[in-house]
């Protein structure tokens, strides 16, 4: 009886380990930063993903020629699922730099962060 159960126990244990590793291993996340109508003024977007431990897990800087920034900036960082403090610095040709922070939860799928009101020309 034990010989018949041993492969089943190994299969269940291996599957549990694979699921745990999959959820804790870095994988491609899909993050969208919505600049909206202010996009033509944006010349650079810097992103910093700060983990629960306070350490920066990933950084990126996206630079655009004047008038060429998209209304929605796509970023696909390699990060494990979890909660992050997303620090977004937006530089504009007219209006300088805006620093924005948002709490995000990454867990597969797509995460959208709307910063259009913070970078609008009216502010």
Domain borders along the chain are 27-119
pTM listed for this prediction: 0.80
Find out if CATH 2.60.40 is the number for domain 27-119.
yes
Tell me the pLDDT tens digit for each residue of 7-30: 888 888 888 887 776 667 888 999
pLDDT at position 11 is: 86
The C-alpha atoms of residue 62 and residue 69 are separated, in whole angstroms, by 9
Tell me the pLDDT tens digit for each residue of 19-75: 776 667 888 999 999 999 999 999 999 999 999 999 999 999 999 998 999 999 999
Q: Which distant-in-sequence residues (6+ apart) come within 8 Å of 112 by Cβ?
A: 31, 32, 34
CB 117 within 8 A of CB 100: no
Q: Which distant-in-sequence residues (6+ apart) come within 8 Å of 103 by Cβ?
A: 83, 84, 85, 86
């Amino acid at each position: 009886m034990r010989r018949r159960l041993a492969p089943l126990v190994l299969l269940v244990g291996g599957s549990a380990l694979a699921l745990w590793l999959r959820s804790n291993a870095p994988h491609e996340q899909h993050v969208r930063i919505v600049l909206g109508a202010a996009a033509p003024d944006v010349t650079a977007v810097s992103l910093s993903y700060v983990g629960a431990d306070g350490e920066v897990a990933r950084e990126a800087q996206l630079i655009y020629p004047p008038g060429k920034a998209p209304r929605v900036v796509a970023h696909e960082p390699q990060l494990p699922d979890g909660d992050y403090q997303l620090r977004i610095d937006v530089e504009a040709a007219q209006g300088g730099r805006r620093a924005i922070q948002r709490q995000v939860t990454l867990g597969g799928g797509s995460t959208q962060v709307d910063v259009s009101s913070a970078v609008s020309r009216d502010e």
